[in-house]
Amino acid sequence: MQLSATSELEHAVPRDVAALAGDFEALVRLYRPKVFRFALASLRDLDAAETVTQDCFLRAYQARDRFRQDCSMHTWLMQIAVNLIRDHTRNRRFQFWRRARLTAKPVDVAGQTIADRAQSPEAQALLKERVAAIWSAAERLPQKQRTVFLLRFVEDMDLLDIAVATGMREGTIKSHLFRAVRAVRERIGEAI
């Protein structure tokens, strides 16, 4: 299977599972940024995100024969990543550093964007504050809410794919998303 056709691969289910092994490097090149981004946004720790990303592809490679093709490759990799991140966040050492981080100065993720928009400086500042508030609120969300929130609003996954990736029912995901969005909106209200 030639994996150079990116768009084809991203949305289609691979027909030949055996070919996964043949061009696994191309799979890694294609999906690594997405898995890494999700891990980094979930864990907010560069080393941990790197570890999770590497483990994700290692496990995918080891389990490539068991890939049932009933979901896209992206969803399947996200499913592995969700499990790894969940395991990682249960680690006591990680929990300690996460608590420490919550009290420390937050990462200025909002500073990454907005600068070149055709908006007034006031509107830009307000938008930046909103983005910072969402970032901060996302960190404080419970694990499951944070996972579905990031999968929905950063990774752009639809509810069915999130259900496959998280192993939760669609109704449960909606419920988590509702709570997450409400918490985020409250946080924006507090911040602004």
Single-letter code of the amino acid located at 56: C
* Residue 177 touching another protein (CB under 8 A): yes
Residue 31's H or E segment, with its range, is helix 24-43
Tokens of 51: 């570890």
Contact between 127 and another protein by CB under 8 A: the answer reads: yes
Using the rule CB under 8 A, which residue among 17, 26, 28, 107 binds another protein?
A: 107
CB of 3 to another protein, least distance (A): 20
Of residues 30 through 49, those in contact with another protein by CB under 8 A are: 33, 36-37, 40-41, 46, 49
Separation CA 50–CA 78 (nearest Å) = 15
Alpha-helical (H) ranges within 44-191 are 46-62, 73-90, 92-103, 121-140, 143-153, 159-166, 170-191
Q: Which residues bind another protein (CB under 8 A)?
A: 33, 36-37, 40-41, 46, 49-50, 107, 109-110, 112-114, 127, 130-131, 134-135, 150, 152-154, 156, 174, 177-178, 181-182, 185-186, 188
